[in-house]
Amino acid sequence: MNVDALTGGFDRRDWQEQTETDDPVRFAMIGVGWWTTEQAMPAVDAGDLCETTVLVSSDREKAADVAADSETVEHAITYEEFHDGAASDAYDAVYIVTPNALHLPYVETAAQLDKAILCEKPMEATIERAERMVEVCDEHDATLMIAYRMHTEPAVRRAKDLIEEGYIGEPLFVHGNMTEPILELVPDPDQWRLDGELSGGCAVMDIGIYPLNTSRFLLDADPVAVRGTVASVQEEFADVPDEHGAFQLDFPGHMYAVCTASQNAHLDSHISVLGTEGKVRVEPAFYPWDDRALQLSHEGTTVDIGFEQIDQMEEEFEYFAHCLLTDTEPYADGEHGLVDINTIKAVYEASETESTVTLD
């Protein structure tokens, strides 16, 4: 194995043509929780192509307090004011980070206001609402991107390159896991993730989507069938079907992925792809505060592959802004997100019926 060939030539931003602008994409952040204040806004501030100018919250005072600490935020408005079109001249795009079942109304309003939309995954709580999201964006010719930050994560992008360059031969099996003790990370038993109506599911919906979607990205394929088992054991998870979940995805060409997820287990994340001639593994993989690591096994040798550690959210926002500035269709769009929603719901169906569920 030529190690020098593995460490050179990788361009983490092979999508980038424009590196600066005098007219940055202005974002309205819809939802001003910890993810927005600790992850999204700092990422936008660190980038070159976008800025945060509007905050939208149920609590105007909370939004105003956050705005006071920002050099770029011009308006702090309520959800109702957003739907009424307040401050609509002050932003070009929205970032939606409300509970899953509340994504659609903000997408509808943003599309009607002719704004571009970056929506957190999973895109909605039900298949029907996710389908409506795609429809309304099509009706208004609105740009919609689902926020899968693994698509711009250098470790995952380099792993995809290695697979495509043939270092593992023909891909056969993906193994992916994402687990966390959610009630330690967010010590609130009344949080929306544990409310089935708001979340649409728990472990598989919220974090199982990472190994699911990253499997699709690495294999450049969509699953055709799924089987799986979910369970809620502890009382705190009584309102959701899946405190824990495990599922298998069948892909075309006899490729398979086995994914596990839990909201009540040791914090861990990894994904690996095993092929006929080798294996590539990213561990840690999915949590943005971990330094990611990439390893390749090939021809009896295992090597660590170097790449630049980055802020995943900064890469995601810069990519989306770059697409808007260069009039490029972003990846992944709403149709891509729909595949995950359909697959996740099939996992729940497979568990309930103890059967294999075929996907369209």
pLDDT in tens, 76-100: 999 999 999 999 999 999 999 999 9
CB 320 within 8 Å of CB 331? no
Per residue in 270-295, pLDDT (tens digit) is 999 999 999 999 999 999 999 999 99
Q: What's the pLDDT at 31?
A: 97
Q: What is the mean pLDDT of the chain?
A: 96
Question: 5 pLDDT exceeds 70?
Answer: no
Q: Cα(first)–Cα(last) distance of the chain, in Å? A: 40
Host H or E run for residue 245: strand 244-251
Q: What percent of the chain has pLDDT over 90?
A: 95
CB 258 within 8 Å of CB 233? no
* Among the ranges given (3-12, 231-240, 328-337, 338-347), the one the predictor scored with the smallest mean pLDDT: 3-12
Q: What's the pLDDT at 7?
A: 61
Please state the φ and ψ torsions of residue 130, each to the nearest 5 degrees: -65, -40
Q: What's the pLDDT at 11?
A: 87
pLDDT band at 10 (very low <50, low <70, confident <90, very high): confident
Q: Which domains does the chain have, with CATH numbers?
A: 3-149 (3.40.50.720), 154-308+332-358 (3.30.360.10)
Question: 332 pLDDT exceeds 90?
Answer: yes
* Range 202-225 average pLDDT: 98
Question: 133 pLDDT exceeds 60?
Answer: yes
Pairing of strands 294-298, 278-282: antiparallel
Q: What's the pLDDT at 2?
A: 62
- Name residue, tokens 């009344």: 190
Q: What's the pLDDT at 360?
A: 83
User: Cis omega (within 30 of 0) on the bond before 261?
Assistant: no
Strands annotated E in 42-92: 50-57, 75-78
